[in-house]
Amino acid sequence: MDPITLGVAALVVLVLLIAIRIPIAYAMILVGGVGIVMVNGLPILLSQMKTLGWGIFSNYGLSVVPMFVLMGALASRAGLSQDLFRGANAWLGWMRGGTAMAAIAGCAGFGAVCGSSLATASTMGRVALPELARYRYSGALATGSLAAGGVLGILIPPSVVLIIYAIIVEANIVTMFAAAMIPGLLAVVLFILTIAVYVTIWPEAGPAHDGVDRAEFRAATLGLIPVMVIFGIVLGGIYGGYFNPTPAASVGVVLVWLYGIVKRTIGWEAIKDSLRETAGTTGMIYLILFGAELMKILMSRIGLPQATAEWILQSGYAPMTVMVILLVALILLGCLMDSLSMILLVVPFFWPVLIELNGGLYQPAEGAGFGMSTEDLKIWFGILALIVVELGLITPPVGMNVFVISALAKDIPMSETFKGVMPFFLAELVRVTVLVMFPALTLWLPSVLSG
């Protein structure tokens, strides 16, 4: 079989396996392994397997993953989410739609400590749904805002998926964290504005209610301080150059643990549960990484990324047109697979194409292509890719955040939740459009910190 035809067939088989719910890691290992055997024979596959696992898992950069996962697992059990929502609600809850806005703010704050979208949606959902029901918010707005707010965990640093992307394209993790800050804050602003427009059109969806008294306001505001301290020490220490991401995550784990000890919300059972969750999640991530590396080897031996890049170059499409096509493809793929799997599968395939479109690996900032250096393109594309990957968490048929919130809000039909997330989906499309048109919003803060 022609190598290019084999490569396309491998991708089709992979998508079909994912569509019938074969775990993405096993699907990639199977397709990648069989493909390498068909191209180069069994001895080559065995030779690769002999050192591949050690080559991947001994990477020091990956050590940050279990630490941030553990930090998020402990944060889910330490009561951070309650303090965040209580503080945000004290500031915003008196407005029409204010409690839903507080849920968005709480999701952003918890995502800054947790780094996981599903954990953010699940934890904040348990805290905020009873309050939203008490104030008679519509089912669509209540569940839709929480499902959408959960996606903030994937982009606002620290983010496990952002770390994996940085490792794949050999980007600096600290730089990627800095690049995510402004787009992440832009999402918070757009989500809050979306709620404001929503309750203006449908006032009954988010009734206003009396604010808290002075004593409650003061107590709720003081409850935000520990969370801000943890966030400030972890990310401030990284950006200030006091420690690298892995030590920063370790510091974060200790700070969240101490927070739980002081609040008396973390005992031995919570610690054991957190360690078990961390082991399971990290093992899943590492297995997916292994499968993605096999797929990467197969595609490089076949030459499919290079052939695709050559075809696109000869087609005459403008680089920005290709970028838009790639982003639309990522949105469509998000309807079939989870965010981490998408990044691991798609980025190794798309990234060489973008490099070629930009004029090669050492393309200077001025000139053809996207008009930026390869390093800047790496940062810009990474943030755009993560944002469109977020959309997969709230779009059918997968929509994992929607399923998580629906499991918590059993009295609200899932169709109402999907209806509620649609305005936020449109807000995300606005954010992608703005960041595509103005790359400086993504690149400015990294340039300032590096300068």
Q: What is the pLDDT of residues 424-438, one digit of tens each?
A: 999 999 999 999 999
Q: What is the pLDDT of residues 238-259, one digit of tens each?
A: 888 888 888 988 999 999 999 9
Q: 58 CB contacts (<8 Å, ≥6 apart)?
A: none
| ω into 43 cis (within 30 of 0) | no
The one-letter amino acid code at 279 reads A
**CB atoms near residue 251 (< 10 Å):** 19
The residue with greater pLDDT, 235 or 183, is 183
pLDDT (0 to 100) of residue 365: 47
**What average pLDDT does the segment 255-265 reach?**
91
The residue with greater pLDDT, 187 or 450, is 187
Q: What is the pLDDT of residues 315-341, one digit of tens each?
A: 777 888 888 888 888 887 777 677 777
21 backbone φψ class: left, alpha, beta (φ>0; ψ -120 to 50): left
Collapse the DSSP code of 368 into the 3-class scheme (helix H, G, I; strand E, B; otherwise coil) and give the result.
coil
Residue position matching structure tokens 């709620």: 195
**What average pLDDT does the segment 35-46 reach?**
88
Q: 200 CB contacts (<8 Å, ≥6 apart)?
A: none
pLDDT (0 to 100) of residue 397: 67
**What is the C-alpha separation between 143 and 125, in angstroms, rounded?**
8
Collapse the DSSP code of 2 into the 3-class scheme (helix H, G, I; strand E, B; otherwise coil) and give the result.
coil
Tokens of 216: 């409650």
Q: 441 CB contacts (<8 Å, ≥6 apart)?
A: 182, 183, 186, 434, 435
Closest to 151 in 3D by CA, of 331, 420, 326, 339: 339
Per-residue confidence at 368, pLDDT binned at 50, 70, 90?
low
**What average pLDDT does the segment 120-143 reach?**
90
Overall pTM > 0.85: yes
Q: 170 CB contacts (<8 Å, ≥6 apart)?
A: none
H runs (alpha helix) in 202-267:
214-222, 225-239, 245-263
**CB atoms near residue 266 (< 10 Å):** 22
**What average pLDDT does the segment 127-146 reach?**
91
- Mean of pLDDT over the chain: 86
Q: At what angle do helices 98-114 and 173-201 cross, to 10 degrees?
A: 170
- CA angle in degrees (0–180, nearest 5) for 115-117-118: 120
Which range (218-227, 232-241, 308-317) has the least confidence? 308-317
The one-letter amino acid code at 419 reads K
pLDDT (0 to 100) of residue 403: 85
The residue with greater pLDDT, 368 or 397, is 397
Judged on CB neighbours under 10 Å (0-12, 13-18, 19+), 272 is: exposed
Closest to 97 in 3D by CA, of 19, 195, 228: 195
**What is the C-alpha separation between 185 and 195, in angstroms, rounded?**
16
pLDDT above 90 covers a percentage of the chain that reads 28
Closest to 372 in 3D by CA, of 323, 432, 311, 328: 323
Q: Which of 43-57, 187-201, 376-390 has the highest mean pLDDT?
A: 187-201
* DSSP letters spanning 318-335: -HHHHHHHHHHHHHHHTT
Residue position matching structure tokens 């997969």: 392
